[in-house]
Structure 1
Amino acid sequence: MLSPKSAELVEVTLPAVGAAIGEISRLFYQRLFAAWSEVYWMMADTLIGLERFLPRGQQDY
């Protein structure tokens, strides 16, 4: 559980974070993959493995 102070902080910042989530995600993964390139390859292997479960024509990830 969050403390009341932490819950208030989340509530106040949530609209700004939600509005910028695309940019936040892009920067997060860009920096993650730059720091640990093996994570990129692990994720790529996972996506390739999952591809076989998608209906044909829906492999646009």
Structure 2
Amino acid sequence: MWQKSSFSEGGTEACVEISAGPAGTSYLRESDAPTEIIATDSAVLLSLMRVVREGRFDGPMP
């Protein structure tokens, strides 16, 4: 089952969706390209989400 991100834009179809798979696998997809799916380890995804929340990707890119 796919779950829509709570940060998705309201009233639009533009959103990221996540689904839990077997053995600690998480799946990500963009709602406007639902057949393109990224599979990753759930621990890796949680680490990415933590550093994003901490603001490590804020500001200009080098």
Q: TM-score, normalised by structure 2?
A: 0.28
Q: TM-score, normalised by structure 1?
A: 0.28
The answer to which structure, 1 or 2, has the higher relative contact order (CA under 8 A, 6+ apart) is 2
Based on CA coordinates, which of the two structures has the bigger radius of gyration? Answer: 1
* Higher percent of residues as helix: 1
